[in-house]
């Protein structure tokens, strides 16, 4: 496998609205991010995935862009953005811009033009269809944010497609002029010195609308290859595509070295398996280790020699990692450390979502009015109208709603967690007095320092980056363990994924394994012997002597 600089890199995701407010308007901003670059450098990360900061009416917090080449006033200015790129680079940190080109905002000039008339040159930038025979939407496609995925433009009598909110009209990727505009825009961003792109719902751009194939359409890989050739393929950039529909076979198409497409994709098998088949994320299934192990193993194995995995537990659309996969109560600290070790000891490029490094947890607002996310708000009303009770829907929002990840970052224990000096745009999680960066920095045993150590280990030990992945103790119902091996070196990674004390019988062939414990969340282990008494969420990585 050809080595790339980003193979041992670690990415940190910033959701700008919630990261740091520098100007006292209750909303995070670019200068706030600049003020925290030293913190990120200390953590050791190499790349920042910056969720959208472009000009936007903020119907979907910036995933509805009205100008790809300007910055939202609440976040700052283009000059500040350029300073951020430069200041990050001085610390060897590169910025991945969020490329949202499945759709624009309805306030984008292209859409404003498109609305003017059926023969406007920009009409064909979007996807229009005549009404069905009864005058209703052309078909029954539903938007991800609830309701029909078609909205009527009364002036022309035609419907336009929107897979997300109706203020996010889908671009028409069958129109080569769309490619030209998007490629030119991407090149102008690359010229500003960014490190690459995270590509929003990229699997939706090749859709075949009339066949109702909305993801993974037949032109998808062709479109990505064209984009690669016209833009980032000309330099050493990092690209990560968001691809909810991706199977391992698809991931090889996206990220295979010969394919000239993307560096890697985000896949969501380990997330979706805990969603209900019908009610989706609003009806959570309890965490179950056996199927979780199976999914992780499947992806590690499928991309072992070709392609590349992205590794993540959380992002701005998902619940907090420790709340979902660990224990946000009594074992918050050891379970958050276990999750850090587990993630960073898999093969792929790890992503840390802001706040994960201090073990931030889900939030439980009692009334729907405290929520801000368009998806939770819309689906609350849609599902209640369908007969779901308030309590049931709130359970779903508490478990999987996107605002869990969007409450402000906890910097210290001062009012509003040091995020802002005024009322923030969304309430702070009340546990900030205990869980915050200042406290974590002052505590040598904190989750934060564990992350810092883990990020550093990836730079130090090639076995963590390139080592083959081999599961061990495969059928164990509570332990998830594997061995990474490279050039005769072996690293055993062992995690107790439960809150229980376990007695683990070590299989005979592993009993004499001993060596150097690279990281642990209890006392270091340097040998296995016959039996281990594992603590709740105990986890360690043991480099086995040759
Ligand atoms: C995926 C993004 O991560 C999410 O936040 C957004 O709402 C949709 N794409 C639409 O852009």
pLDDT at 493 over 90: yes
**Can you tell me the distance from the alpha carbon of 504 to that of 490, in angstroms, rounded to the nearest whole number?**
20
Q: Which helix (H) or strand (E) holds 160?
A: strand 158-161
Residue at a domain's end among 401, 419, 452: 452
> Are residue 371 and residue 484 in the same domain, yes or no?
no
- Decide whether any atom of ligand 1 lies within 6 Å of the 63 Cβ: yes
Residue at a domain's end among 452, 480, 501: 452
Any idea what the CATH number is for the domain that residue 498 is in?
2.60.40.1180
**Can you tell me the distance from the alpha carbon of 122 to that of 499, in angstroms, rounded to the nearest whole number?**
57
Of the given ranges (27-41, 48-62, 275-289, 465-479), which has the lowest mean pLDDT?
275-289
pLDDT at 1: 83
Arithmetic mean of pLDDT, 336-346: 98
How would you class 141 by CB atoms within 10 Å of its CB: exposed for 0-12, middle for 13-18, buried for 19 or more? middle
Check if the beta carbon of residue 498 is closer than 8 Å to that of residue 537. Answer: yes
**Can you tell me the distance from the alpha carbon of 308 to that of 295, in angstroms, rounded to the nearest whole number?**
16
Any idea what the CATH number is for the domain that residue 41 is in?
3.20.20.80
> Are residue 83 and residue 114 in the same domain, yes or no?
no
> Are residue 497 and residue 385 in the same domain, yes or no?
no
| In a domain? residue 490 | yes
**Can you tell me the distance from the alpha carbon of 351 to that of 47, in angstroms, rounded to the nearest whole number?**
9
Residue nearest to atom 5 of ligand 1 (CA): 317
**Can you tell me the distance from the alpha carbon of 481 to that of 472, in angstroms, rounded to the nearest whole number?**
6
pLDDT at 10: 98
Check if the beta carbon of residue 186 is closer than 8 Å to that of residue 197. Answer: yes
Q: Which two tokens stand for residue 330?
A: 């009594």
| In a domain? residue 458 | no
Pocket test for ligand 1, best of 100, 171, 205, 281 (most atoms within 8 A of CB): 100
> 506 is in which domain, residue-wise?
466-544
Q: Which two tokens stand for residue 183?
A: 């490629």
pLDDT at 397: 98
pLDDT at 423 over 70: yes
> Are residue 156 and residue 266 in the same domain, yes or no?
no
pLDDT at 546: 62
**Can you tell me the distance from the alpha carbon of 137 to that of 134, in angstroms, rounded to the nearest whole number?**
9
Indicate the pTM of the whole model: 0.98
Helix 220-230 to helix 248-255 angle (10° resolution) is 20
pLDDT at 415 over 90: yes
Convert 15-46 to b/e letters by CB count within 10 Å (16 or more is b). bbbbbbbbeebbbbbbbbbbebbeebeebbbb
pLDDT at 239 over 80: yes
Arithmetic mean of pLDDT, 98-125: 98
Check if the beta carbon of residue 198 is closer than 8 Å to that of residue 99. Answer: yes
Residue 242 annotated among the catalytic residues of the structure: yes
| In a domain? residue 461 | no
| Number of Cβ atoms within 10 Å of the Cβ of 302 | 16
Q: What is the C-alpha end-to-end distance of the chain, expressed in Å?
A: 24
Contacts by 220-225, CB closer than 8 A, 24 or more apart? 221/253, 221/254, 221/259, 221/261, 223/173, 223/179, 224/254, 224/261, 224/262, 225/259, 225/260, 225/261
| In a domain? residue 5 | no
- Decide whether any atom of ligand 1 lies within 6 Å of the 201 Cβ: yes
> Are residue 352 and residue 248 in the same domain, yes or no?
yes
| Number of Cβ atoms within 10 Å of the Cβ of 323 | 26
Residue at a domain's end among 452, 477, 504: 452
Our count of domains for the chain comes to: 3
Residue 200 annotated among the catalytic residues of the structure: yes
What mean pLDDT is reported for the chain? 98
pLDDT at 406 over 80: yes
Arithmetic mean of pLDDT, 321-334: 98
pLDDT at 403 over 90: yes
Distance (angstroms) between ligand 1 centre and the Cα of 291 equals 26
Residue nearest to atom 6 of ligand 1 (CA): 63
Helix 289-302 to helix 248-255 angle (10° resolution) is 40
Pocket test for ligand 1, best of 16, 60, 61 (most atoms within 8 A of CB): 60
pLDDT at 193 over 80: yes
């Amino acid at each position: 496998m050809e080595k790339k600089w980003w193979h041992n890199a670690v990415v940190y995701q910033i959701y700008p609205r919630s990261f740091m407010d520098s100007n006292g308007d209750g909303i995070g901003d670019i200068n706030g991010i600049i003020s925290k670059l030293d913190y990120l450098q200390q953590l050791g990360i190499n790349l920042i995935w910056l969720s959208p900061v472009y000009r936007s009416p903020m119907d979907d917090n910036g995933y509805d862009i009205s100008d790809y080449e300007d910055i939202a006033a609440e976040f700052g200015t283009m000059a500040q953005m350029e300073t951020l790129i430069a200041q990050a680079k001085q610390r060897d940190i590169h910025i991945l811009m969020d490329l949202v080109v499945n759709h624009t905002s309805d306030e984008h000039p292209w859409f404003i033009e498109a609305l003017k008339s059926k023969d406007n040159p920009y009409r064909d930038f979007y996807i229009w269809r005549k009404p069905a025979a009864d005058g209703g939407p052309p078909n029954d496609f539903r938007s991800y944010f609830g309701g029909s995925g078609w909205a009527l433009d009364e002036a022309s009598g035609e419907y336009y497609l929107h897979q997300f909110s109706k203020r996010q009209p889908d671009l028409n990727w069958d129109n080569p002029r769309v490619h030209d505009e998007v490629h030119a825009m991407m090149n102008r961003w690359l010229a500003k010195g960014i490190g690459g792109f995270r590509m929003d719902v990229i699997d939706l751009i090749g859709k075949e609308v009339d066949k109702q194939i909305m993801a993974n359409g037949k032109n998808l890989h062709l479109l990505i290859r064209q984009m690669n050739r016209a833009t980032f393929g000309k330099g050493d950039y990092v690209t990560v595509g968001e691809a909810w529909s991706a199977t391992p076979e698809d991931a090889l198409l996206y990220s295979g070295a010969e394919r000239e497409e993307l560096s890697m994709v985000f896949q969501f098998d380990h997330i979706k398996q805990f969603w209900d088949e019908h009610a989706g994320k609003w009806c959570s299934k309890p965490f179950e280790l056996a199927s979780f192990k199976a999914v992780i193993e499947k992806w590690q194995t499928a991309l072992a020699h070709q392609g590349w995995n992205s590794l993540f537990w959380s992002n701005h659309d998902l619940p907090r990692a420790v709340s979902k996969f660990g224990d946000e109560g009594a074992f918050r600290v050891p379970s958050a450390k276990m999750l850090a070790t587990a993630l960073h000891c898999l093969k792929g490029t790890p992503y840390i979502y802001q706040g994960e490094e201090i073990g931030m947890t889900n939030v439980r607002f009692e009334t729907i009015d405290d929520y801000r996310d368009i998806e939770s708000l819309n689906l609350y009303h849609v599902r209640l109208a369908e007969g779901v009770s308030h309590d049931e829907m709130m359970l779903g929002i508490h478990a999987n709603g996107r605002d869990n990840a969007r409450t402000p970052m906890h910097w210290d224990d001062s009012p509003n967690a040091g995020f802002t000096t005024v009322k923030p745009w969304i309430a702070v999680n009340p546990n900030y007095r205990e869980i915050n960066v200042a406290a974590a920095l002052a505590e040598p045993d904190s989750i934060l320092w564990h992350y810092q150590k883990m990020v550093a280990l990836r730079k130090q030990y090639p076995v963590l980056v390139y080592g083959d992945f081999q599961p061990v103790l495969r059928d164990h119902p509570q332990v998830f363990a594997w061995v990474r091996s490279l050039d005769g070196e072996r690293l055993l990674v062992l995690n107790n994924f439960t809150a229980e004390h376990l007695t683990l019988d070590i299989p005979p062939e592993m009993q004499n394994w001993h060596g150097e414990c690279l990281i642990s969340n209890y006392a270091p282990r340097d040998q296995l012997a016959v039996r281990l008494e594992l603590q709740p969420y105990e986890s360690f990585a043991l480099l086995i002597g040759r």
